[in-house]
Every structure is written in structure tokens, then in C-alpha cells.
Amino acid sequence: MTAQELRRMYAEFFKERGHKEIASASLLPDNDPTVLFTTAGMHPLVPYLLGEKHPLGSKLVNIQKCVRTCDIDEVGDDTHLTFFEMLGNWSLGDYFKEEAISFSFEFLTSKLQIPASKIAVTVFAGDEELPADEEAASIWIKKGLGKNQIFYYGKEENWWGPAGQTGPCGPDTEIFYDMGKEPCSSDCGPACSCGKYVEIWNNVFMQYNKERDGSYHPLPRKNIDTGMGLERILTILDGKDNVYETELFIPVMDRLKFLSQIPYSKDTKGIFRIICEHTRAMTFILGDSKKITPSNTEQGYILRRLIRRTIRLLQKLGIKENILCELSQVILVQYRESYPELKENSRFILEQLNKEYELFQKTLDSGLKKAEQYLSGLKKEETLNGRLAFKLYDTFGFPIEFTMELAKEKGIQIDIQGFYEKLKEHQDKSRKGAEGKFKGGLADSSRQTARLHTATHLLNGALRRILGDSVYQRGSNITSERLRFDFSFERKMTPEELQKVAELVNHAIASNLDVLCEETTPEKARKEGAIGIFDSKYGEKVKVYTIPGYSKEICGGPHAAATGELGHFTIIKEEASSSGVRRIKAILD
């Protein structure tokens, strides 16, 4: 089975069962400021999981592109990836456990022809606060699974959420494929990392709301959120033990072998895998509609890390010339049908890869000189402190492994713990801008959140009126105190421009205009001038929020009923975010 056949089979299976297919959203989540990237299919659906009505109804399905930064250091093994595709289906207050488990079981055993005997599942074991999920277990038994295929675990394994301190949460049932290996011990189970079991699907049952006092109460409207990794299930269907032997990686792997003229062996396997995986990830990040660029903060920081790590590994293979674009083009051809934005943004992708390669090459020589300066002042078996190792990383883009290799040649040690302490401190600072969490996490659809979110619509409209229609939103973030809005613009705004923008927003607020919501087709929304990213397909209907005379946007977040609720709008800062992107921070008094 090909990857495209699997994508279509999954979507059609659920469409035949009343689900509406929705498009893959941006890799930058609009409604979850707790993460840098979209890490699951649920991120674009946060407002709807919290109660908003989705324009396509209560049963949805899609294939969502995702990036998880926590797995970067694991890339190169058989299963972990930075970029991956998640197959997901959702019920927004419609069906619940019986139907969700039945759908999953039927798709795996009937459509994919996976024997029920190869399936193992986990369910919530319960604790002092909440009961065990015997309902899920009994459904699995009805489907034909033996009790020896059902494993009970606590919240660390079988519980989702809330994403913040409060909000929707609940038990889940995870589905694993038994790889046929011998158990590593008498208590070997899906929670074990020995490789006998590989997780392929997770069904989350959002049935509780966690309150501020820590108590749990049943939700009046229960939701289903599921996710299955396309890469992992395809690996299993192909009868492979690692994702790199599937069609998803064979083309770029073959290209790397040809360009490098280096054999794929036990010694080079890990490097080859990381280069190919990172190439796919960086291509998708750069190809996203919001056009992220390499930088030293937030999403750009992760992107730069991926690119520079790849360059270092290419050089470790002895490849001195820039082949990033040639490898990326393999990904562009491979995925252009499934993700048209890659084709439309191909020039931008290749330009950024070339630019970052040249930039790193410039710092490489000066960084090597600085490293030599640091190391030459030490004697053999002495230790380079973590602060200097981090400076090489932060200033010159030297990954710690690169510095360790230079030090090893001179018999010098590296204060690894000190380096990672500085790195964590830097990452924490970098994430603050992108994390700035809603008070109460994803669950906070408070009046203040709605007011600030509505203000971003007015701000976007005002910026386009003052600076021109070339201005587009590139990201936003809301805390309980302020809003942050990123937009495309090449230069610093003048004080006069900022004043005019603030005056326009406040004039709209003073006019106390109704915030109107309409469900319509993407085509009609476009014709009527709504702002939205039209380079990806939408569903049959979208929500369009209109503030007459000021703003018309496709959106799914929480909004105020009228602009008069917003109070007074004040811009507190305008600054650069990344190349070609400016950032405004503002408050409502």
C-alpha cells in the first residue's frame, strides 16, 4: 500500500461513516500558544473542542502535518521523527467510546487486514480521584481482544490533558502493534521501551473538566480526539522494522547515496537517517503557508537547528558542497500532490536553504578560530566550561557534538551539564514568546481572551489599511495581559504609522460595532474579501467573522460580541520578529 492510498483509504473510511474531511492546518497553531508547532491534529480544533460549533458539523476527519521538537535527539532510531503526518478523526459531542473504538478496530482489522491477535491496547487504571476505564476495556473485549491483550496504566500513560491548569481532559486507550519479539521480562507490556510493542493509534475520551481546585467533573458534551501516525502504520504494513525503508524515505535516501558516493552502512546509517529526516522536516517547515524563516528564537530557532545539524552531518560524511536544495527537491516532488503549498512555496524553500547554508559557512570559519582560542588555553584533560561551549553553539551555530569533536582531538573535556543548563535557560527564554500561555491553558475561552483575540482582527485590518494589502498575519499569541501579533512587513514602522494604527483600532472600539459571524463557502468568503490562507483547501464551509468597515477574516477562535467590549487599545512595542516579519505587542485597558 502506498502512502497516498493509506491517506485516501483513511479519509474515505470515515467519510462513509458521516465524517467531513477538513484540510491540514498550518504547522504554526493558531489556537494553542503552549507549543511552538502543531504537534497533533487537535490543535486546529481547539475552539471546537471547547464548545465552538464547527461549520462542517460534529464528526470530522483529516490528515494533519505535525512537528514535535521533543524527538529531535531521538531521530535516527527506527521510529522517532521530527515531522510526521497524523491521521485523525473527531467527534464533537456526537459519538463516544463505543463508536470510536469500533471505528478504530474495524479500520485496522478490516481495511488494513491487521490480525486482531497482533493488537494490544492500554486503558486507564484509575486512581484515588477517578475510576478505572472499565467501559473501554469491556468494549475491546466485545471486539474480540483477550484480557491478555489489554493493559492497565495510570495517568502517566493513559490520560490526556488538560493542556493547562484547567479544562477538558480524560482517559485514553492507546493501540499498539505487537512486533512479535519475545517479552523482555515477566511484566513486559506496551509501556515498555524494549520494542516489542509499537504505538500506532490513540483514542482520547474527553469526558471530564478539571477545575481550579483540582477536582474533576463530567463534561456535559463529551468529545473524541484520535490520532494515528501515518509513518508508523505504513512501516508495519510494509513489513519493515523502521520507517526509513518505506517509500517515504527511500527517494531522498537514494539521492543522498548518489550525491555523497558513500555507502549506507552500519557506521553511516544513523547520519544518513538524520539527514533525510531533517531534510523532510525543514522542507515542510519552510513550505508552510506562514513562511517561517531560520532565526535564534521560537520556531525559527528549531528550523535553524535542523538545518545546521544537517550541514554538520553532511560535512561529517565529507560532503563539502551545498546539496541541501537537491535533497529538498526530492521531498518537494514526492509530496507536491498531497501538500500543494510545498509546490507554491518551493522558491522560498530553496532560497532560505541556500541563504542559511551560506550564513553558516561564514560563521563556521570564525567559529573555528574562536574554538581554537578557547581550547588552546587549556591543557590536556582539562575541561572547557559550559558557558563557552554554549557561546560556540549560540553565536556560531556549533552543535555541542561539533565542539566535542574539536575538543576530543586535543584531549580536552567539555562541561556537558553546564552547556545544557545554559541551553535550557536559552530555550526557556525563546519559548516564552511562543508559549505565553492562556491563563488556564487551552481551556480558557474567557472574556479577556475573546477581547484580545477580537483586537487582533482590528489590528490586522488597521495595519493593512495603513501599510497596504501586502501585510498578512504571520502568527499571534495571547496571554491574560497582552496580545502579540506578527505580520509580514520589511521595515520598522514609524511612530506616525503606529499612532494611526492605534487610532483606527480605537475608533472601531468606540463605534461599538457588532462582531458578526457567518458560515459560508471558502469561494464566497474569498469573493467577499475575507482574509484567509487560500493556498490550502478548506472544507465545504468556513466561519467568517466580520467587523463592518474594519475586518473580515476566516477564523475559529473566541470573539467578543461587539467591539465596545474591548476597552482602550494601546501599542506597547513594535519590533522585528524575523526576516521580513514585524511584531506588535499591545494591551487593552
Beta bridge partners of 586: 483, 571
Three-class SS of 325-388: HHHHHHHHHHHCCCCHHHHHCHHHHHHHHHHHHHHHHHHHHHHHHHHHHHHHCCCCCCEECHHH
State the DSSP code for 108. Answer: I
Number of Cβ within 10 Å of residue 376's Cβ equals 9
Beta bridge partners of 545: 517, 553
Number of Cβ within 10 Å of residue 147's Cβ equals 9
Number of Cβ within 10 Å of residue 329's Cβ equals 18
d(CA 480, CA 559): 15
Beta bridge partners of 176: 120, 199
Phi-psi bin for 440: left (phi > 0), alpha (psi -120 to 50), beta? left
Complete DSSP assignment for 22-61: -----SS-SS-TTSSS--STTGGGHHHHTTPPPTT-SEEE
Cβ(221)–Cβ(213) below 8 Å: no
Q: Which residues are annotated as a binding site for Zn(2+)?
A: 453, 457, 555, 559
Residue 176: its H or E element: strand 167-178
- All three cell numbers of 367, joined, read 567559529
Find the length of the chain.
589
d(CA 105, CA 13): 12
Range 248-275 burial, b when 16+ CB lie within 10 A, else e:
bbeebbebbeeebebebeeebeebbbbb
Q: Which residues are annotated as a binding site?
A: 453, 457, 555, 559
Cβ(348)–Cβ(291) below 8 Å: yes
Cβ(550)–Cβ(513) below 8 Å: yes
Q: Is 366 exposed, middle or buried (0-12, 13-18, 19+ CB in 10 A)?
A: exposed
- All three cell numbers of 327, joined, read 535533497
Nearest to 234 by CA among 224, 242, 225, 226: 242
d(CA 132, CA 502): 54
Beta bridge partners of 486: 475, 583
Q: How far is CA 446 from the centre of its chain?
A: 24
CA distance readout (Å), 452 to 33, 493, 554, 564: 14, 22, 17, 12
d(CA 551, CA 548): 7
